[in-house]
Structure formats: C-alpha cells, structure tokens
Amino acid sequence: MSYIVALLLIGLIIFFHEFGHFLAAKLAGIPIQIFSIGFGPKVWAMKRGATEYRISLIPLGGYVLPEVLDETEFFNYPVAKRITMSAGGPLASIILPIFCFIIINIIVLPFSFNNIVIQPIYQTISVLYQMILAIPSAFSHTENLSGVIGIVVTGGDFIGINNLKAMQFTALMSLNLAVLNLIPIPALDGGKMLLYLLELVYPKSLRFHYPLALAGWVMILGLMVYVTAADVGRYFVA
C-alpha cells in the first residue's frame, strides 16, 4: 500500500510542477492546447475551453503544450513570456514543499508565526541549497541514481503508514524535481531559459534551439533507460 501512496505522491508532484507551467503560461498570455500528466497515448481526457486536460500512459513526467502551429510560432512570443512559462514549473516545485513543511510544523511544533510562516520557508531554502551542492556528486556517482522504480520502492519503504513521512517525501521529491529541471540541459527548463537569454544577446542562436533540445532529450532518455535498468537489477534481479 505504501508503494501506491508513493506513486500517487509522485503524480501529485508532477501535477503541481506542470500546473506551475500552465499558470505561468496563462499569466504570460500564451494559450495552452494540452495539459498532460504523463507521456504517450492518452488514457483519459477532458476539454475545457481551448485546453485539453489529459492523463497519459507513461507516468514519467508531463507536459504543457502551447496552442501554436509550429515551433516558429512559439518563438514569436517575446523572450520574457517564454522564460515566464519555463520558470513556472520549478517555482511551483519550490512552493509545494513550503506547504508540506507548514503541515509538518503544525503537527510537531508549537503553534507560532515563526514555526508556521518563517520556518517552512527557511526549511525549504535549506534543503534546496543542500540539493544544489549535491549535484556534482550525483553525476560523478551515477550508480546512486534512481528512476521511478527506485523512487517508488525507497519512497514506499520510507513512508510506510506515517503521514508525516509522506509530507517529507513530497517536499524532498518536489525540490528534487525543481533542481533537476533547473540544470542547464536544453530539454529541461533551466536549459530552455538559458537559451532564451542567449537569444537576447545573440539572436542567431535561435537556430540552435531545436538541435540542442533534441540532443538534450536523447541524453535524458538515455539516462532514464540507464537508471531504470539499474533499478530493475537492484530490486528485481537476484
């Protein structure tokens, strides 16, 4: 049961991240065609206005697809609007843990303004800072990386039937998602924002967006295959 809880919490974390992109796009005036949790064929869909909300088959992420005819039309939006949309996801993934720490502190600490308002922000920033410092170590020791299988297994073991640990797991995984997406790899939010900023300095760099994004996706998919194979070997092969 705890593994199902871990999987559902991962889904919640992904939803919150993608909802951040969605709200930021709306704020920037970029219409959205598809809001999807998961990739691949859709399992469930509902249309509201111009946006189709869907759950897709492969629960390894999600996406927000702008309502544009092609990439060229999307790049016609000002850089500031595109950066706003890209930044919305990581920002949402940083905000969610603040609410998690608020709930934890309400339960375990005396009720005070500091414990409920100031401390959760400090806790979030502190954990985020430690995760950023750990990035070089994570990529230099790839044997410690885990994919969805590993996260669900270790997360389920950690959570058990403890609601406080479920909140801690949600906060940590959401911050992990924020840090991961801010790494400047072109297919990730951090890479997109870096390329958008480069576009301001060197407009001709726009021609490199697509090939760099494709290379970034190849790298990410390769890493996903690697960590998934490692998880299978770690947890299912004797």
Contacts of 237 (CB under 8 A, 6+ apart): none
DSSP per-residue letters across the chain: -HHHHHHHHHHHHHHHHHHHHHHHHHHHT--EEEEEEEEEEEEEEEEETTEEEEEEEEEEEEEEEES-SSHHHHTTS-HHHHHHHHHHHHHHHHHHHHHHHHHHHHHHS---HIIIIIHHHHHHHHHHHHHHHTHHHHHH-GGG---HHHHHHHHHHHHTT-HHHHHHHHHHHHHHHHHHHHS--TTSHHHHHHHHHHHHH-GGGGGGHHHHHHHHHHHHHHHHHHHHHHHHHHHT--
Residue 98 has a pLDDT of 96
Residue 181 has a pLDDT of 92
Residue 6 has a pLDDT of 80
Residue 186 has a pLDDT of 85
Residue 135 has a pLDDT of 81
pTM of the model: 0.88
pLDDT in tens, the chain (238 residues): 677 888 888 888 988 999 999 999 999 999 999 999 888 888 898 998 889 999 888 776 788 999 988 778 888 999 999 999 999 999 999 999 999 999 999 999 999 999 999 999 999 999 999 988 888 877 666 656 666 666 666 766 767 778 888 889 999 999 999 999 999 988 899 999 999 999 988 888 888 888 888 888 888 888 777 777 776 666 666 5
Alpha carbon distance 78, 39 (integer Å)? 28
> What residues act catalytically?
18
Residue 218 has a pLDDT of 87
Residue 145 has a pLDDT of 66
Tokens for 100? 């998690």
